[in-house]
């Protein structure tokens, strides 16, 4: 089941256009069904096929900061066109409602889907993840980046010039284990929200 992300830059009239930066960030390591592309002004949209990819992209955008993120879970019209702008279907309508709702929420992220209770549950878990990521220090992000790249805590410590225990402390303070537990939970709830 496809997932549509509609993403709108916050406070775009008071700052530079950052859509190009976000599209460049999503151009690596993301395999969409329909490529992320600018749809209007400071907004862009893309279609993903897997709920795990949706979680990853949403959290990348949370980390970048400055975005209202709407996730629509549900069917899209087939066959898929070559451009995201030409695609239609209920998931696109859900994503539009979601980004509008996200603009009114403190964490600027919302989910709408074919199964509203499951969409609300997915939104709650993704919102908790967004809050968790927003509280991390740069030192924590450095340690997480190395661990996520496959380094052991000892290797990360050597690279950062700190003790292994300090790496462990950074990971604990960042609630890294909790993030690892919540990501698949969010993905399962997104799959249910799609129907």
- CATH at 45: 3.30.70
Per cent of the chain over pLDDT 90 is 85
8 A C-beta contact, residue 68 and residue 50: no
pTM of the model: 0.91
The radius of gyration of the chain from alpha carbons, rounded to an integer in Å, stands at 17
Q: Please, which contacts does 117-121 make with residues 24 or more away whose CB atoms are closer than 8 Å?
A: 118/189, 118/192, 118/193, 119/73, 119/94, 119/193, 121/189, 121/192, 121/193
Residues 13 and 103 in one domain: yes
Residues 58 and 27 in one domain: yes
Residues 72 and 157 in one domain: no
Provide the residue range defining the domain that includes 161. Answer: 138-173
When pLDDT is cut at 50, 70 and 90, the band that residue 79 belongs to is very high
Residues 142 and 128 in one domain: no
Give the number of other CB atoms < 10 A from CB of residue 47. 22
The tally of domains found in the chain comes to 2
Residues 166 and 76 in one domain: no
Give the DSSP H/E element, type plus range, for residue 81.
none
Residues 146 and 129 in one domain: no
93-123 pLDDT tens trace? 999 999 999 999 999 999 999 999 999 999 9
Residues 20 and 68 in one domain: yes
Residues 161 and 101 in one domain: no
Average pLDDT over residues 53-71: 95
Residues 129 and 143 in one domain: no
8 A C-beta contact, residue 159 and residue 146: yes
When pLDDT is cut at 50, 70 and 90, the band that residue 12 belongs to is low
Residues 39 and 124 in one domain: yes
Residues 118 and 38 in one domain: yes
SS3 letters for 92-123?
Answer: HHHHHHHHHHHCCCCCCEEEEECCHHHHHHHH
Average pLDDT of the chain is 94
Residues 100 and 189 in one domain: yes
Average pLDDT over residues 177-182: 95
Residue 66 is given by DSSP the state S
In whole angstroms, give the CA distance from residue 73 to residue 116: 10
């Amino acid at each position: 089941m496809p997932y549509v992300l509609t993403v709108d830059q916050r406070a775009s009239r008071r700052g530079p256009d950052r859509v190009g930066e976000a599209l460049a960030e999503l151009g690596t390591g993301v395999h969409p069904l329909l490529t992320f592309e600018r749809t209007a002004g400071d907004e862009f949209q893309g279609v993903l096929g897997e709920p795990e990819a949706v979680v990853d992209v949403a959290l990348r955008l949370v980390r970048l900061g400055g975005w209202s993120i709407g996730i629509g879970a549900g069917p899209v019209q087939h066959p898929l066109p070559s451009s995201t702008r030409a695609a239609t279907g209920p998931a696109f309508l859900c994503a539009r409602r979601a980004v509008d709702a996200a603009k009114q929420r403190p964490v600027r992220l919302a989910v709408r889907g074919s199964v509203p209770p499951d969409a609300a549950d997915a939104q709650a878990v993704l919102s908790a993840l967004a809050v968790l990521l927003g509280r991390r220090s740069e030192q924590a992000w450095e340690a997480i980046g190395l661990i996520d790249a496959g380094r052991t805590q000892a290797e990360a410590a050597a690279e950062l010039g700190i003790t292994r225990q300090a790496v462990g402390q950074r990971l604990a303070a960042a609630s890294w284990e909790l993030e690892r537990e919540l990501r698949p939970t969010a993905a399962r709830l997104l799959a249910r929200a799609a129907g």
